[in-house]
Amino acid sequence: MSTSQDGTQNAAQHASKSAAAIDRARAQGRAALIGYLPAGYPSVADTIAAGIALAENGADLIEIGIPYSDPVMDGQVIQAATTEALAKGFRVPEVFDVVRGITSKTDAAVLVMTYWNPVVRMGVDEFSRRLAEAGGAGLITPDLIPDEAAEWMAASDKYGLDRVFLVAPSSSPERMKRTVDASRGFVYAVSIMGVTGARASVSSAAKSVVAAAHAAGAERVCVGLGVSNAGHVREIAEYADGVIVGTALVAAIRDGGVDAVASLTKDLSTGLTKEEA
């Protein structure tokens, strides 16, 4: 089975690390758990330790965010964390240290979540090369749509990286198809029209976005935004291939450090098993 929807797999000659991680979870009859942590919060060493704790306690994929000056898709908790990381002097190349630190100790797939300008500044090819060297799986790009991604399509093929684009409740069928086709690894389904942040319940829009992405040909669709607890995970695991938790983990590391990340991850992972026989 191809790990790509777009047929460029052959050019890359690499298997998708994210797809492999999701498929391993699938083989165990469950959805994959994806945990987000911002790099450098509260320190680079802590991010590495927390990333390892994520992997050891049930996360299949890890998403490392690059703190950025203008995070338009992030709510208060993540903004506060990334602002603090920047104030403490976080530099973009340190994200590769974080990725290497986690991939050298675990077999979780580690993706980087980044707004696009830091990649543009370093150079798309250079950034991709360094990410691949660090053992990274690919990029999640909240403000890059496939329409503007020509350079990234080329670089991700060249270095065998996954390109995780977002689809939203507002995506038209044409855009859904186009985005699914451009993605590799998985497609990130935004559960709600809004930004990151804890929410009381999972939006009913999430299920239809996943269905639309599957219908457009996506083999792996993971749901993020507002997923806050094991109950949410359980609900989403029923219909999605993976569940992405961000703000809740950031609040955990803020309030209780690496140990809190470990115990929250353990708890979240109890929701992954699909309940229907």
Partner 1 sequence: MVRLMVDAPAAGSDESAVDAFLQGGRPQEPTAQGGPSLRHAPGPYFGGYGGRWMPESLIAALDELEDTFEKAKADPEFTAQIADLNKNYSGRPSLLTEAKRFAEHAGGVRIFLKREDLNHTGSHKINNVLGQALLAKRMGKTRVIAETGAGQHGVASATAAALLGLECVVYMGAEDCRRQSLNVARMELLGATVIPVTNGSQTLKDAINEALRDWVANVGNTHYLLGTAAGAHPFPAMVRYFHEVIGEEARAQILDQTGRLPDAVCACIGGGSNAIGIFHGFLDDASVKIYGFEAGGEGVETGRHAATITLGKPGVLHGARSYLMQDDDGQTIESHSISAGLDYPGVGPEHSYLADIGRVRYEPITDSEAMEAFRLLCRTEGIIPAIESAHALAGAIKVGQRLAAEDAGAASEKIVIVNLSGRGDKDVATAAEWFDLLDEDSPEAEIAKEGEQL
- Cα dihedral 44, 49, 54, 55 sign: positive
Coil, strand or helix at 222: strand
Nearest to 55 by CA among 266, 208, 235: 266
* Cβ-based nearer residue to partner 1, 118 or 257: 118
Give how many residues touch partner 1 by CB under 8 A. 40
* Cβ-based nearer residue to partner 1, 170 or 270: 170
Q: Where are the alpha helices (DSSP H) in 32-88?
A: 44-56, 76-87
Residue 248 makes CB contacts below 8 A (sequence gap 6+) with 198, 227, 228, 229, 264, 268
* Cβ-based nearer residue to partner 1, 99 or 168: 168
Find the shortest distance in angstroms from Cβ 142 to partner 1: 6
Q: Which of 28, 91, 270, 274 binds partner 1 (CB under 8 A)?
A: 91
Which is catalytic among the residues 74, 162, 181, 219? 74
Active-site annotation holds for 255: no
Site for partner 1 in 213-272 (CB under 8 A): none
Active-site annotation holds for 235: no
Q: Under a CB-based contact definition with an 8 Å cutoff, are residues 6 and 146 in contact? A: no
Coil, strand or helix at 188: strand
Judged by CB under 8 A, the stretch of 22-30, 43-51, 103-111, 159-167 that binds partner 1 is 159-167
d(CA 113, CA 128): 13
Q: Which of 108, 144, 213, 245 binds partner 1 (CB under 8 A)?
A: 144
Judged by CB under 8 A, the stretch of 19-27, 113-121, 231-239, 244-252 that binds partner 1 is 113-121
Helix (H) / strand (E) containing 62: strand 61-65
- Cα dihedral 33, 34, 40, 44 sign: positive
Site for partner 1 in 58-77 (CB under 8 A): 68-73, 75-76
**Catalytic site positions:** 63, 74
Residues found near partner 1 in the complex (CB under 8 A): 68-73, 75-76, 79, 83, 86, 91-92, 116-122, 142-145, 147-148, 165-172, 175, 179, 190, 193-195
